[in-house]
Structure 1
């Protein structure tokens, strides 16, 4: 018997979900947070650093770093800066016109 299950990727699911205007609005509002989280994860991994090592550098509990990376903990700008500094980075924020998407 042939298995006729279809596999979907996250990207496929996201593309489909973004067709819903309400979902897209919420997703767009969260995009800057997603971008920061992904940049944090990428920088940490590029340096071959574990969450535990980043915790030691920043004084932020490893469990909180995990929550941040999973989008389960909202953080202040001060914490963003502390995490960036622990990675040898800095945070840059821009104010742009809402009608202009960069």
Structure 2
């Protein structure tokens, strides 16, 4: 566990506002993590995946960094570009 992970755990435990803000963003973090993981499993660079999906690499980079919110249509395109199926669930 690195220093950032330790800091995050401490803040989650002692700062209710921090914890609430983090939980509110969890779905976005989950999408980013799933996208990056699937792309890495397919041994695809951002550029390769973006080309497969007909988008710019910079647009994909913004999605993966959390600086853009992808539409459902974009998520479907990305899944198709990776040869994957998009599934969304409520837990």
Band of TM-score, shorter chain:
0.7 to 0.9
| Structure 1 partner of 2:78 | 83
Q: Say how many residue pairs are matched.
A: 89
1:73 aligns with 2:58: no
Residue in structure 2 matching 1:17, options 8, 11, 31: 11
Q: Distance in 1 between matches of 2:31 and 2:85?
A: 12
CA root-mean-square deviation: 1.3
Q: Distance in 1 between matches of 2:90 and 2:30?
A: 15
Q: Secondary structure at the match of 1:18?
A: helix
Q: Distance in 1 between matches of 2:66 and 2:48?
A: 20
| Stretches of structure 2 lacking an aligned partner (at least 5 in a row) | none
Deviations 1:2-48 (A, max 9, x none): xxxxxx52211211221211111111111111111111111111111
Q: Distance in 2 between matches of 1:84 and 1:11?
A: 29
Residue in structure 2 matching 1:41, options 27, 36, 42: 36
- From the two aligned structures, give the one with the greater helix fraction: 2
Deviations 1:71-95 (A, max 9, x none): 1111111111111111111221223
Runs of 4+ residues over 3 Å off in structure 1: none
Q: Distance in 1 between matches of 2:65 and 2:11?
A: 20
Q: Secondary structure at the match of 1:89?
A: coil
